[in-house]
Structure 1
Amino acid sequence: MDIALWTIQGLAAIGFVYSGWLKAFRYEQAKASWGWVKDVSKAFVVFIGIVELIGAIGLILPQVTSIAPILTPIAATGLAAVVLLGALFHVSRKEYREIGVNIVFFSLAALITICRF
Protein backbone atom coordinates (compact mmCIF):
# COMPACT_ATOMS: atom_id res chain seq x y z
CA MET A 1 0.00 0.00 0.00
CA ASP A 2 2.83 2.37 0.83
CA ILE A 3 4.38 1.96 -2.64
CA ALA A 4 1.04 2.70 -4.27
CA LEU A 5 0.57 5.78 -2.11
CA TRP A 6 4.05 7.05 -2.94
CA THR A 7 3.28 6.53 -6.63
CA ILE A 8 0.09 8.54 -6.27
CA GLN A 9 1.92 11.28 -4.38
CA GLY A 10 4.60 11.40 -7.08
CA LEU A 11 2.07 11.61 -9.92
CA ALA A 12 0.08 14.30 -8.14
CA ALA A 13 3.24 16.28 -7.36
CA ILE A 14 4.37 16.10 -11.01
CA GLY A 15 0.96 17.33 -12.17
CA PHE A 16 0.89 20.19 -9.69
CA VAL A 17 4.49 21.19 -10.49
CA TYR A 18 3.67 21.31 -14.21
CA SER A 19 0.49 23.32 -13.68
CA GLY A 20 2.02 25.57 -11.05
CA TRP A 21 5.15 26.22 -13.10
CA LEU A 22 3.10 27.32 -16.11
CA LYS A 23 0.95 29.61 -14.01
CA ALA A 24 3.76 31.10 -11.92
CA PHE A 25 6.63 31.39 -14.40
CA ARG A 26 5.29 30.82 -17.90
CA TYR A 27 2.26 33.10 -17.87
CA GLU A 28 2.12 33.63 -21.64
CA GLN A 29 2.21 29.89 -22.26
CA ALA A 30 -0.50 29.38 -19.65
CA LYS A 31 -2.60 32.06 -21.33
CA ALA A 32 -2.22 30.27 -24.66
CA SER A 33 -3.05 26.87 -23.12
CA TRP A 34 -5.98 27.75 -20.88
CA GLY A 35 -8.74 30.14 -21.92
CA TRP A 36 -9.68 31.11 -18.37
CA VAL A 37 -6.26 32.67 -17.74
CA LYS A 38 -7.16 35.58 -20.03
CA ASP A 39 -10.17 36.43 -17.87
CA VAL A 40 -8.47 36.76 -14.47
CA SER A 41 -5.61 38.96 -13.33
CA LYS A 42 -2.03 37.88 -13.92
CA ALA A 43 -1.31 38.29 -10.20
CA PHE A 44 -4.09 35.82 -9.33
CA VAL A 45 -2.82 33.26 -11.86
CA VAL A 46 0.72 33.59 -10.51
CA PHE A 47 -0.60 33.25 -6.94
CA ILE A 48 -2.41 30.02 -7.82
CA GLY A 49 0.76 28.73 -9.47
CA ILE A 50 2.90 29.46 -6.42
CA VAL A 51 0.33 27.79 -4.15
CA GLU A 52 0.38 24.70 -6.38
CA LEU A 53 4.19 24.59 -6.37
CA ILE A 54 4.38 24.89 -2.59
CA GLY A 55 1.66 22.25 -2.26
CA ALA A 56 3.56 19.88 -4.58
CA ILE A 57 6.66 20.26 -2.44
CA GLY A 58 4.50 19.60 0.61
CA LEU A 59 3.23 16.34 -0.89
CA ILE A 60 6.73 14.89 -0.99
CA LEU A 61 9.33 16.64 1.14
CA PRO A 62 7.92 16.30 4.68
CA GLN A 63 7.20 12.60 4.21
CA VAL A 64 10.59 11.85 2.62
CA THR A 65 12.62 13.68 5.25
CA SER A 66 10.42 12.60 8.19
CA ILE A 67 10.50 16.23 9.28
CA ALA A 68 6.95 17.24 10.21
CA PRO A 69 5.29 14.53 8.07
CA ILE A 70 1.90 15.86 9.19
CA LEU A 71 2.45 18.59 6.60
CA THR A 72 1.96 16.09 3.76
CA PRO A 73 -1.77 15.47 4.36
CA ILE A 74 -2.21 19.17 5.14
CA ALA A 75 -0.66 20.04 1.77
CA ALA A 76 -2.89 17.46 0.07
CA THR A 77 -5.95 18.98 1.75
CA GLY A 78 -4.98 22.45 0.56
CA LEU A 79 -4.41 21.23 -2.99
CA ALA A 80 -7.75 19.41 -2.95
CA ALA A 81 -9.40 22.70 -1.97
CA VAL A 82 -7.62 24.57 -4.77
CA VAL A 83 -8.70 21.97 -7.34
CA LEU A 84 -12.28 21.90 -6.04
CA LEU A 85 -12.50 25.69 -6.28
CA GLY A 86 -11.05 25.47 -9.78
CA ALA A 87 -13.74 22.97 -10.76
CA LEU A 88 -16.45 25.26 -9.40
CA PHE A 89 -14.91 28.13 -11.38
CA HIS A 90 -15.05 26.02 -14.55
CA VAL A 91 -18.68 25.07 -13.86
CA SER A 92 -19.60 28.74 -13.46
CA ARG A 93 -18.02 29.42 -16.86
CA LYS A 94 -19.67 26.34 -18.42
CA GLU A 95 -16.24 24.87 -19.22
CA TYR A 96 -17.33 21.31 -18.58
CA ARG A 97 -14.49 19.74 -20.58
CA GLU A 98 -11.97 21.22 -18.14
CA ILE A 99 -13.54 19.58 -15.08
CA GLY A 100 -12.20 16.09 -15.81
CA VAL A 101 -8.66 17.12 -14.91
CA ASN A 102 -9.97 18.74 -11.73
CA ILE A 103 -11.79 15.54 -10.75
CA VAL A 104 -8.65 13.43 -11.27
CA PHE A 105 -6.41 15.73 -9.23
CA PHE A 106 -9.04 16.23 -6.54
CA SER A 107 -9.31 12.45 -6.22
CA LEU A 108 -5.54 12.06 -5.95
CA ALA A 109 -5.24 14.81 -3.34
CA ALA A 110 -8.20 13.47 -1.35
CA LEU A 111 -6.75 9.96 -1.36
CA ILE A 112 -3.40 11.26 -0.14
CA THR A 113 -5.17 13.25 2.58
CA ILE A 114 -7.16 10.25 3.80
CA CYS A 115 -4.28 7.78 3.70
CA ARG A 116 -1.65 10.03 5.25
CA PHE A 117 -3.85 11.28 8.10
Structure 2
Amino acid sequence: MTAQSAAFLDDLAPGSAMSVAVTAPDGSDMTVALVRTTDGEVYALDDECSHGRASLGEGDVDERSVECWKHGARFDVRTGKPLGLPATRPVLTYPVTLDGEVILVDVDSPATPTS
Protein backbone atom coordinates (compact mmCIF):
# COMPACT_ATOMS: atom_id res chain seq x y z
CA MET A 1 0.00 0.00 0.00
CA THR A 2 1.16 3.55 -0.62
CA ALA A 3 -0.29 6.95 0.18
CA GLN A 4 -4.04 6.83 0.69
CA SER A 5 -6.77 9.42 0.65
CA ALA A 6 -7.49 10.65 4.18
CA ALA A 7 -9.54 13.85 3.83
CA PHE A 8 -10.22 16.92 1.73
CA LEU A 9 -8.09 19.99 2.43
CA ASP A 10 -11.24 22.13 2.78
CA ASP A 11 -12.32 19.94 5.72
CA LEU A 12 -9.22 20.93 7.71
CA ALA A 13 -9.03 24.65 8.39
CA PRO A 14 -5.67 26.26 9.22
CA GLY A 15 -5.02 25.96 12.95
CA SER A 16 -7.10 22.81 13.38
CA ALA A 17 -6.82 19.04 13.71
CA MET A 18 -9.06 16.08 13.00
CA SER A 19 -9.01 12.31 13.41
CA VAL A 20 -9.36 10.16 10.30
CA ALA A 21 -9.55 6.42 9.69
CA VAL A 22 -7.05 4.90 7.28
CA THR A 23 -5.92 1.37 6.47
CA ALA A 24 -2.84 0.13 8.33
CA PRO A 25 -0.12 -1.83 6.52
CA ASP A 26 -1.56 -5.10 7.89
CA GLY A 27 -5.00 -4.28 6.45
CA SER A 28 -6.61 -3.32 9.74
CA ASP A 29 -8.17 0.05 10.49
CA MET A 30 -6.11 2.70 12.25
CA THR A 31 -6.67 6.32 13.20
CA VAL A 32 -4.30 9.19 12.50
CA ALA A 33 -4.54 12.83 13.44
CA LEU A 34 -4.34 15.28 10.56
CA VAL A 35 -3.04 18.66 11.65
CA ARG A 36 -3.09 21.85 9.60
CA THR A 37 -0.87 24.41 11.25
CA THR A 38 -1.73 28.09 11.44
CA ASP A 39 0.55 28.68 8.44
CA GLY A 40 -1.40 26.09 6.40
CA GLU A 41 1.03 23.14 6.37
CA VAL A 42 -0.54 19.68 6.77
CA TYR A 43 0.94 16.87 8.89
CA ALA A 44 -0.16 13.41 10.02
CA LEU A 45 0.73 11.68 13.28
CA ASP A 46 -0.55 8.95 15.56
CA ASP A 47 -3.91 10.03 16.88
CA GLU A 48 -3.30 8.74 20.39
CA CYS A 49 -1.28 10.87 22.80
CA SER A 50 1.68 8.89 24.16
CA HIS A 51 0.89 10.07 27.69
CA GLY A 52 -2.83 9.92 28.32
CA ARG A 53 -4.51 7.89 25.58
CA ALA A 54 -6.47 10.87 24.28
CA SER A 55 -7.09 11.87 20.68
CA LEU A 56 -4.64 14.40 19.23
CA GLY A 57 -7.20 15.00 16.48
CA GLU A 58 -9.18 16.92 19.11
CA GLY A 59 -6.19 19.02 20.17
CA ASP A 60 -5.29 22.68 19.83
CA VAL A 61 -2.91 23.60 17.01
CA ASP A 62 -0.41 26.40 16.49
CA GLU A 63 2.38 27.00 13.97
CA ARG A 64 4.33 23.82 14.79
CA SER A 65 2.59 21.77 17.47
CA VAL A 66 -0.59 20.07 18.58
CA GLU A 67 -1.66 20.04 22.23
CA CYS A 68 -3.47 17.08 23.76
CA TRP A 69 -6.77 18.27 25.21
CA LYS A 70 -6.62 15.89 28.17
CA HIS A 71 -3.41 16.83 30.03
CA GLY A 72 -1.79 19.53 27.90
CA ALA A 73 1.08 17.51 26.38
CA ARG A 74 2.38 19.18 23.21
CA PHE A 75 3.95 17.43 20.23
CA ASP A 76 5.99 18.81 17.35
CA VAL A 77 3.87 17.97 14.30
CA ARG A 78 6.97 17.62 12.09
CA THR A 79 8.81 15.08 14.26
CA GLY A 80 6.31 13.71 16.80
CA LYS A 81 8.67 14.73 19.59
CA PRO A 82 7.06 15.82 22.86
CA LEU A 83 7.71 19.48 23.62
CA GLY A 84 7.20 19.22 27.35
CA LEU A 85 5.68 17.26 30.17
CA PRO A 86 3.60 15.29 30.88
CA ALA A 87 4.46 13.40 27.65
CA THR A 88 7.96 11.93 27.48
CA ARG A 89 7.59 9.58 24.49
CA PRO A 90 7.17 10.72 20.88
CA VAL A 91 4.36 9.70 18.55
CA LEU A 92 4.88 8.44 15.01
CA THR A 93 4.54 10.86 12.10
CA TYR A 94 3.61 9.96 8.53
CA PRO A 95 4.41 11.52 5.15
CA VAL A 96 1.65 13.73 3.73
CA THR A 97 1.17 14.86 0.15
CA LEU A 98 -1.57 16.82 -1.54
CA ASP A 99 -3.23 15.70 -4.76
CA GLY A 100 -5.17 18.81 -5.62
CA GLU A 101 -7.54 19.18 -2.68
CA VAL A 102 -7.09 15.62 -1.39
CA ILE A 103 -4.81 14.94 1.60
CA LEU A 104 -2.86 11.70 1.10
CA VAL A 105 -1.15 9.92 4.02
CA ASP A 106 1.45 7.16 3.72
CA VAL A 107 1.10 5.05 6.87
CA ASP A 108 3.48 2.46 5.38
CA SER A 109 6.41 4.83 5.90
CA PRO A 110 6.30 6.31 9.41
CA ALA A 111 9.20 8.49 10.48
CA THR A 112 11.36 7.02 13.20
CA PRO A 113 10.48 9.00 16.33
CA THR A 114 13.16 10.55 18.45
CA SER A 115 12.76 11.01 22.17
TM-score (norm 1): 0.26
Larger Rg: 1
**Higher helix fraction (1 or 2):** 1
**Higher strand fraction (1 or 2):** 2
TM-score (norm 2): 0.27
